[in-house]
Structure 1
Amino acid sequence: MMSIAETILFIVAIGVILGWLFVLLMHIVALFYGRYLMHRVVPQPDPENLHGVSILKPLTGVDPNLYKNLETFFNQQYPAYELLFSVQDENDPAIMVVQSLIQKYPKIDAKLFIGLRYVGPNGKINNMVRGYEAAKYDLIVISDSGISMRPETLMNMVSFMKSDVGLVLQMPYTAHRKFGFSSVYEQVYFGTFQARNSLGANAVGINCSTGMSCMFRKELLENVGGLQAFAKYLAEDFFICQEIVRQKYKAVLCSLPAIQNSGNCSVEHFHNRLIRWSQLRGAMLPHLIVLEPLSECMLMGVCISWALDFLFNVSPMGVFLLHTLMWFLSDYFLLKTVENGPLPFSKFEFFVAWITREALAFWLSLRSHKNGVVQWRHKRYKVHWGGSVSEI
């Protein structure tokens, strides 16, 4: 008969194996759902049933790729849309970029709003709210300044906006940029960890929204007070999705990813983004503080190696190596699916970026829980349980 300690360890080992099987299932779901969804050609709606779209573009400052990124929005293959740019103050150099594009494309319905209106601590919403209120179409797209759009992207998003859908998301990914390791590092993260979470969650109906590029029905936000109702959160995308689903509408991924093409790229800057996102997730969903690190490759490999050794006397080193190899290959093929072809870098570069991300995941998770202060652009926020923030 087992002692109390042995019984506890037995239960923990069984729990580890069940957790490992769940994560393995998410890998499989993401791979198959990604093959089904990503870059799939979807039937276009009847032109008579196409709704107009208002695209909100909040801008702050200029990076080397801003002009090129914004220009892609002037070249959308869609019959009726408007571009609503917004900057926070009249001295922002982004104003000149926007004005030059408006002059270059006079046939595109584009407007520029200068000056924010304070409705809460979320600076992005303060910047967008005037454009949101001026939007003349019911379908709203929020698109970050660093996003580059293929000409068919807007049509693709609208094609997924069925009668029972309230929110269409683009899965975040990155363009291949000539920044060396930092560019590959970002691309590997978004094409593996982020893609697995987004595809797996969307396939089973879990809220895993990102606000980099998303389309929603304006009436659904108006039902709860408009965009400004979400200004008390930094992760407004999560709560917008939550509210739309609460109103009995679906949130779905479209088949084209959101291509981030910022002209600035560094490992330190990217780590700061990861830490900020982890802080917000922990505040909104506290159970992720424990579950998220445990679901990472290296820590989960250690746990499953111990569990199988404890229960079945299997070689821990053999289990760990096999687990890591399976995870590596799964991520490699998922990244190729997201990229829709061969990788734009070598297999060795992929290996170095992948092993770096996996090795640093736990350390970055620990850093994110040092305190409850989030640094976003030039502002600092105190994060409260539930996801709301207050500006420091």
Structure 2
Amino acid sequence: MELTLAAAFTSSALLLSNFASIALASSQLKRRRVIPPPSGNQPPVSIVVPSRGVEPFTKETLQRAFSLDWPRYELIFCVAHAEDPVVKLINAAIAGHPDVPARLLIGNDRISANPKLNNCVKGWQAARHNWVILADSNVLMPKDYVQHLMAAWRPETGLVCSTPIGSRPDGFWAEVECAFLNTLQARWQYAGEALGLGFAQGKSMLWNKPMLDANGGIEALSAEIAEDAAATKLVNGLGLYVNLVASPFEQPLGQRRLDEIWSRQARWARLRRVTFPLFFAPEILTGVMMPLLLALVAAASAGVSLPTTVLCVLVIAYLPECLLARSKGWYLSPRSVTAMIVRDAMLPAIWIRGWLGGAVEWRGNAMTIRTKEMTELEEVA
């Protein structure tokens, strides 16, 4: 009897926390809306875009970057190697939009083990304006991209970010990627912001350049293996907050494979594990697997129908998640619930992988992710 009650109570508590996170995220998020071009004098903005390789939507994301409504902005594209095939596309886009100030910088400044951060250094140093956006090359910028970032800046803000919202999935595994990005990771990130625990996301980061330069510059983001983790700790250390845009920006996915999803999620899990271990540890309790297992234990002990128990748990877990996606205009299809189930089935293995050492892959780069303390010990030895 005690086992039955304990399992039922814990399962219910986990399902309730799942619902609470959705409610908190929903309170922070707004359905996509267009912010009109600003009137009056607005500060000029530098947009630094680290690029590597050609992806299915590269031409479209480049076109979007040159079509923003902000009155004064410059684009600084950063590529590590001159032979990268994306160089031709960037040069063609620059030539096709002579009205937008844009440059391509090539080279690699090795200030860290993070290849993206190394690629950004030259762009940060070349930026002419006091407001700088570090934007991943696969972000699909809307015309009001800068407006949304600026609108989230408040007097106590140290950094404004946007999570990626997966869109245009081509195939089932891309829908699983949407399930990871949207109603799991974005949801928990916005729930964290609602609780005053905002943390950075490297996809789109709006910085006040004088503020960061006064606190170590872009090199300060090498304090952690992940630049967004270093950014979060730096901003919080200054007594400031990381804020998120009300309507996060799209990342078109196209096709995805299971091994790509596993590699990416394993890398992110390992990064979270070494940078924020206390927050990573309870991640095993997210998703449906733990409350479902406990509910089945309670049902078996109490003689309740197991199929009915499974159905009830799945409805309680996934109906609010689907309603969140629908209310915010995120991708949702008849296969979305199946994709969410597959995602949650992967979560325990991803969590375990996060605790293990060894190399992970980032765009062809083998990275051994370890804590700063481990790296310092190895250097001393």
Q: TM-score w.r.t. structure 2 length?
A: 0.88
* Counterpart position of 2:64: 72
Within 2, Cα distance between the matches of 1:12 and 1:223? 52
How do residues 1-392 of structure 1 correspond to structure 2 at under 5 angstroms?
18-34=13-29, 37-40=30-33, 47-48=40-41, 50-177=42-169, 179-261=170-252, 265-288=256-279, 290-304=281-295, 306=297, 313=302, 315=304, 317=306, 318-339=308-329, 343=331, 345=333, 347=334, 349-385=335-371
User: Gaps spanning 5+ residues in structure 2: where?
Assistant: none
| TM-superposition CA deviations, 1:143-201 (whole Å, max 9, x none) | 11111111112112112223322211112112214x22122222222221122212211
Query: Would you say the 8 A contact 1:167–1:214 is kept in 2?
Result: yes
SS of residue matched to 1:142: strand
Query: Would you say the 8 A contact 1:285–1:386 is kept in 2?
Result: no
SS of residue matched to 1:119: coil
Query: Would you say the 8 A contact 2:357–2:370 is kept in 1?
Result: no
| TM-superposition CA deviations, 1:93-123 (whole Å, max 9, x none) | 2111111111111110111111111212111
Deviation of the 1:232 alpha carbon: 4.6
Query: Would you say the 8 A contact 1:17–1:307 is kept in 2?
Result: no
Deviation of the 1:386 alpha carbon: 5.4
Change (3 A) 1:367 1:298: same
Deviation of the 1:305 alpha carbon: 5.1
| Aligned-pair identity (%) | 25
Query: Would you say the 8 A contact 1:235–1:387 is kept in 2?
Result: no
Which deviates more, 223-232 or 122-131? Answer: 223-232
Deviation of the 1:323 alpha carbon: 2.4
Deviation of the 1:234 alpha carbon: 2.9
| TM-superposition CA deviations, 1:321-380 (whole Å, max 9, x none) | 32221111011111113325xx563x2x22321221122222333344343433222322
Deviation of the 1:64 alpha carbon: 3.0
Which deviates more, 99-108 or 223-232? Answer: 223-232
| TM-superposition CA deviations, 1:258-279 (whole Å, max 9, x none) | 2112566322212210111011
User: Gaps spanning 5+ residues in structure 1: where?
Assistant: none
Within 1, Cα distance between the matches of 2:220 and 2:56? 33
Deviation of the 1:83 alpha carbon: 0.5
Root-mean-square deviation (CA), in Å? 2.9
Number of residue pairs matched?
Answer: 376
